[in-house]
Amino acid sequence: MYKLLIVDDEPQILEGMKRTLDWEKYGFGCIETSETADDAISKAVAIYPDIAIFDICIGKDRGYEAISKLNGLGLPTKYIIMSGYNEFEYAREAIRCGVKDYLLKPVNRSKLQEVVEKIIVEDLHGTLEGTSDVNLDPVLGVRYDSLSKLTNHILLTVKTEYEQNITLKMVAEQFRMNGTYLGQIFLKETKMKFSEYVMAYRMLKARERILSTDDKIASIAHSVGYSNLGYFYTHFHAYFDKSPSDLRR
């Protein structure tokens, strides 16, 4: 059973975060909330949360300062910062405290889900077996528990970093492995090259945003990791056999 602590000085935000994910399916049997930094520190020391989500500004206090204090106490908690401010200074301080991710408000459900899944698998050494709605990989169509732990880690890395210029070499460096060897392992288990998987995952995310938003195609292309709009159109048409505009009609 995992324990979760959510910290924000706005009660409606706390309630919203409690409903954003089906925490019970992820194995969270204890969910505590706090509206002040002092209370958050007290509750964290009392329950030792596995994951704690802190707002960057808790009244006059700063979430990263509370996290720094808890780090000093040696808690094994994994931290996520959420913020309504896209400020470099805030993000830098959060990184110094070792937070797992920095999410902008309003917190995107899919992004939060990806971060939580990655923490569960990589840091808490758990599985996603109980989460029936996320137990099948959207590209491979196979259960996550049918794949090796290494491949699961690679898939979760793609899910959390696909918006960036992610490459097999970068992933291999994270795992301190040879890129060619890692690519061979991934291909053998998934029957797909790493680059093919990344492209397919980006296409699925693009389709999701095209159908659920009115954002411009160029903006969507950029949001899924394409700096070249021409490449995006080429890949999209090859994958879905139709253009982004045709899909939206």
What confidence tens digit (pLDDT) does each residue in 105-132 have? 888 888 898 899 889 888 888 877 655 4
- The answer to the question of residue 160 being in a domain is yes
- The answer to the question of residue 119 being in a domain is no
User: Could you tell me if 171 and 236 lie in one domain?
Assistant: no
User: Could you tell me if 171 and 153 lie in one domain?
Assistant: yes
- Given this model, what pLDDT does residue 130 score? 59
Mean pLDDT by 10 residues, the chain (249 residues): 95 92 91 96 95 94 93 93 80 84 87 88 76 71 86 86 90 90 95 96 92 90 93 93 87
The answer to whether the beta carbons of residues 210 and 247 sit under 8 Å apart is yes
Cβ-Cβ contacts under 8 Å for 231 (sequence gap 6 or more): none
- The answer to the question of residue 68 being in a domain is yes
Residue at which a domain ends, from 176, 194, 212: 194
- The answer to the question of residue 177 being in a domain is yes
The answer to whether the beta carbons of residues 77 and 49 sit under 8 Å apart is yes
- The answer to the question of residue 116 being in a domain is no
User: Could you tell me if 53 and 76 lie in one domain?
Assistant: yes
- Given this model, what pLDDT does residue 132 score? 47
User: Could you tell me if 187 and 202 lie in one domain?
Assistant: no
- The answer to the question of residue 97 being in a domain is yes
User: Could you tell me if 140 and 166 lie in one domain?
Assistant: yes
Place of tokens 């490449």: 231
Burial 155-173 (b: 16+ CB within 10 A, else e): bbbbbbbbeeebebeebbe
Report the distance separating Cα 107 and Cα 129, nearest Å.
Answer: 25
- The answer to the question of residue 121 being in a domain is no
Residue at which a domain ends, from 178, 194, 210: 194
User: Could you tell me if 171 and 83 lie in one domain?
Assistant: no
Report the distance separating Cα 6 and Cα 87, nearest Å.
Answer: 21
CATH number at residue 181: 1.10.10
User: Could you tell me if 189 and 210 lie in one domain?
Assistant: no
User: Could you tell me if 40 and 91 lie in one domain?
Assistant: yes
CATH number at residue 12: 3.40.50.2300
Report the distance separating Cα 126 and Cα 131, nearest Å.
Answer: 12
User: Could you tell me if 186 and 227 lie in one domain?
Assistant: no
Cα dihedral 228, 103, 131, 176 in deg (nearest 10): 70
User: Could you tell me if 30 and 101 lie in one domain?
Assistant: yes
User: Could you tell me if 12 and 101 lie in one domain?
Assistant: yes
User: Could you tell me if 16 and 69 lie in one domain?
Assistant: yes
Over residues 70-84, the pLDDT tens digits come to: 999 999 999 999 988
The total domain count for the chain is 3
- The answer to the question of residue 176 being in a domain is yes
Q: Which domain holds residue 101?
A: 2-108
CATH number at residue 204: 1.10.10.60
Report the distance separating Cα 31 and Cα 135, nearest Å.
Answer: 23
